[in-house]
Amino acid sequence: MKDLLQAARKGDKRALARLVTLLEDDPSLAPALLEGEGEWPFPGLVLGVTGPPGVGKSTFVSALVGKSRRKDPAGKVAVLAVDPTSPYTGGALLGDRVRMMEHSGDEGVFIRSFANRGLLGGLAPGIRAVLRLLGATGWDLVLLETVGVGQSEVDAASVADLTAVLLAPGQGDGIQMLKAGLLEAADLFVVHKADLPGAERVASEIEAALDLSEPGPRGRPPVLLVSSARGRGLEEFLEALDRRRAELKGPIEERRRRAAREDARRLVLDRASARLARALEGEEGLLEDLLEGRAGLDEAVLRILRNALDRGGKEEGERT
């Protein structure tokens, strides 16, 4: 993996794609990959892009990639786009790479679609590990596009430095879209498809909702009108993004510290869970003992823990 990491740092996007696949399949590989790197790295800026289905997130992200690259040709932009997994086939369309084909020949752009594998939060497993990889390979801006269902806005805010929430006219009552947690999750509001009738009204409704809410510790988010189809408002959005990044420098650093600790916690618990599951396989009668009252729950847990420790010691001895 270290050879792939060095190749990816030199601009080899095939090596980067292989590493992303490895981490998507097994996020627990991240510590070994980043061993010797010092503190776990972050990209220059991670921007979460979320909002209801049909609001035009992929169109906005594609337009933003192009605008960012024209504004700073030396800057590298990555897109991590999460697509929903089919509950019937277990597959996913992974269509964002098709919608963003215009950037396929740009060496400064990396686009990867992920299946959310049925998670209601809208984020795919492995995203956290992949963000560390993109930090280690020097990506300046990462656009994290979520499925846009239910709790995805809050989930995106937990791993992104800043979060842009998109709304659009013609999707019903704009105030109803400002569901619980959405006002708190947004660092920027974007009224997308601003060339359509009703965009100004949606912006006014968001402003009114912000007027009625208590400002959070990150301050009042700006409300911007953007038409990706007509190329309007993108420059203003990037300027607002730079201002928010400067205003929230301290909170962003604190969020990254919390995110790193959460990543480490999840990796430890996932590895422990896997070892306990293997240990349970070696105690075939334990569940029957528990169900038939011959063993209590605490006793069963202790037996599994002892089994896991014994197996872990044997495996360590075999490796040495």
Alpha carbon distance 214, 184 (integer Å): 10
pLDDT for residue 290: 85
Q: For residue 278, how many other CB atoms are within 10 A of its CB?
A: 15
pLDDT for residue 130: 92
153 touches 165 (CB < 8 A): yes
Can you give the C-alpha Rg of the chain in angstroms? 22
70 touches 102 (CB < 8 A): no
User: pTM for this one?
Assistant: 0.82
79 touches 112 (CB < 8 A): yes
Kindly list the domain boundaries of the chain, sorted by start residue. Answer: 38-247, 260-319
3-state secondary structure of 291: helix
pLDDT for residue 12: 92
128 touches 135 (CB < 8 A): no
Amino acid at 5: L
Mean pLDDT by 10 residues, the chain (320 residues): 90 93 88 80 92 87 94 94 53 52 84 65 69 93 77 65 90 55 81 94 90 82 95 95 95 89 85 86 80 87 86 57
68 touches 168 (CB < 8 A): no
pLDDT for residue 267: 84
pLDDT for residue 31: 86
Amino acid at 181: G
Of how many residues is the chain composed?
A: 320
pLDDT for residue 104: 75
Domain 38-247, CATH homologous superfamily name and number? P-loop containing nucleotide triphosphate hydrolases (3.40.50.300)
3-state secondary structure of 273: helix
CB proximity list for 297: less than 8 A, separation 6 or greater? 290
Alpha carbon distance 116, 184 (integer Å): 24
pLDDT for residue 93: 47
